[in-house]
Amino acid sequence: MEMMNGKEYIESLRKYRPRIYFMGKRIDSVADDPILAPHVNAAAMTYELAHDPRYAEIMTATSHLTGEKINRFTHIHQSTDDLVKKVRMMRLLGRKTGSCFQRCVGLDAINALYITTYDVDQKYGTDYHERVKEYIRYVQKNDLMVAGAMTDVKGDRSLRPHQQADPDLYLRVVERRGDGIVVRGAKAHITGVANSHEIIALPTRAMGEEDKDYAVAFAVPVDAEGVTMIFGRQTNDLRRLDGDIDCGNAKYATVGGEALVVFDDVFVPWERVFMCGEYDFTSELVETFATFHRQNYGGCKVGVADVLIGASACIAEYNGVEGASHIVDKLTEMIHMAETCWCCSLACSYEGFKTPSGAYMPNLLLANVTKLNITRLPYEWSRLSQDLAGGFVITTPSELDYRNPETREMVEKYLKGRAEIPTEHRLRMFRLIENLSIGAELPESMHGAGSPAAQKIMIWRRSNIDMKKEEAKRIAGIKRDEDFERVRGNQK
């Protein structure tokens, strides 16, 4: 099968019948529901650009498994060049959609599984790696969108999975059979899952021996029996039903259409099981996935920042103040922060390395630095955008009032900026800035791929602080702190 284009992707969703609920009602057709439409459109862009000759180099790759041309979202990275092209793809799509385009979690999941299952097989003689390769061939051949499902609901955070009062608060194996396993539990905040074809579930944390039933990784179709999705609320989500101005980004939404995914005794055949009880490899799998996913954020969020910076520059022009020094200064600050994040994403990609599996992964330290910056700097460039846009960014009248014959002339007259700029253009730009700088984009920047504490833990672990101390002592002329080392040794 050849790579799908955007229309073919949307049509392919009609072959699936996932069980999805939103606002108390079941969604009948993912491809045709107005609430899901922006998320579907954003994902469709990942398919559409793969057919655009201008972007073929970064949107497509050659499969190392089949030798066929494939969408890069189904590729296993074979070089640092692949890692760099991945984040270039992320920035391009962020810029084209001004939104989350949802496929990166699945891409990171298959790459993390490819690397980790190789290591599991080397220790235990299992055949997980071959299962993963066969599954990836299937995904590549059919050009499928895969949702990665890692985060469990976790219940009492002070307790490990096996200690929870309700054992289902982490996804677990409840039955092992000759033909497969049965799993029960839930995954939360799952990006793009409603309009995906497949779900890959991964463990959410490092596990101990008593948690081995929770050390499970597998893949199922989105409409597998026993899978239920409850689609999450987003800021101003029902504005999509009122028209296209008030949405701000009506065609592509803002973030990735996250859902709670419940697995109610779901059967998984063995060929789709990629970890089952190997608790000592959960830490590696989680860390590998997190590294890939944190690498992304200096790409996708900077692509979205490109749109916000452009919108901010436009509104300054519409307000007639584009030449003011403080406006130029604010825009320059926004650009500087965005490009700083972009530098981090490129750096961790160029500093990537080959794993024993043959696949490449980014530099772990720099990937975490990338994501930690994204938990901070988008808040600052959003603040600057709100500052230079002015108060109408949060007090603009509704599109319904703009369309209402009784109030249209008043809105048209009194929300005018420069005489030569249509009032509607100014309204649309205010709403876009509101959407990108005030809506759900910021919490996703904070919590997507892990909250700041997770990145700080990894940065500390990977910082090689002992080497830094030794270099400081050498330059200071301190050969050895013998008394201090003896005391510290005794304290340990």
In the structure encoding, which two tokens stand for residue 260, read together? 């709670």
Distance CA(368)–CA(297), nearest Å, equals 10
Q: Which of 46, 75, 104, 198 is catalytic?
A: 104
**Residue 125: partners with Cβ closer than 8 Å, 6 or more residues away:** none
Q: Is 300 a catalytic residue?
A: yes
Q: Which of 247, 276, 300, 341 is catalytic?
A: 300
| Residue 353 three-state SS | strand
Q: Which of 48, 198, 258, 441 is catalytic?
A: 258
Of 258, 296, 247, 257, which Cα lies nearest the Cα of 436?
Answer: 247
Q: Is 8 a catalytic residue?
A: no
Query: Would you tell me how many other CB atoms lie within 10 Å of the CB of residue 415?
Result: 16
| Cross-strand partners of 382 | none
Q: Which of 118, 214, 252, 297 is catalytic?
A: 297
Q: Which residue's entry shows tokens 């497949």?
A: 198
Q: Which of 39, 100, 252, 287 is catalytic?
A: 100
Helices (H) and strands (E) in the chain, counts: 18, 14
Q: Is 293 a catalytic residue?
A: yes
| Cross-strand partners of 180 | 177, 269
Distance CA(146)–CA(183), nearest Å, equals 19
| Residue 207 identity | M
Burial of 225 (0-12, 13-18, 19+ CB in 10 A): exposed
**Residue 328: partners with Cβ closer than 8 Å, 6 or more residues away:** 322
Separation of first and last alpha carbons in the chain: 61
Distance CA(226)–CA(18), nearest Å, equals 10
Q: Which of 191, 254, 282, 370 is catalytic?
A: 191
Distance CA(343)–CA(212), nearest Å, equals 39
Considering just the CA atoms, what is the radius of gyration of the chain in Å? Answer: 24
Distance CA(473)–CA(292), nearest Å, equals 35
Distance CA(404)–CA(48), nearest Å, equals 37
Phi, psi of 418 (to 5 degrees): -60, 140
Q: Which of 287, 399, 441, 444 is catalytic?
A: 444
Q: Is 344 a catalytic residue?
A: no
Q: Is 297 a catalytic residue?
A: yes
Q: Is 341 a catalytic residue?
A: no
Q: Is 444 a catalytic residue?
A: yes
Phi, psi of 9 (to 5 degrees): -60, -50
Q: Which of 46, 75, 293, 396 is catalytic?
A: 293
Q: Is 100 a catalytic residue?
A: yes
Question: What helix, strand, coil percent values describe the chain, rounded to 5?
Answer: 55, 15, 30
Q: Between helices 452-462 and 364-374, what is the axis angle to 10°?
A: 150
DSSP state letters, 408-442: HHHHHHHT--STTS-HHHHHHHHHHHHHHHHSTHH
In the structure encoding, which two tokens stand for residue 444, read together? 């996703």
Do the Cβ atoms of 218 and 131 come closer than 8 Å? no
Tell me the catalytic residues. Answer: 100, 104, 191, 258, 293, 297, 300, 444
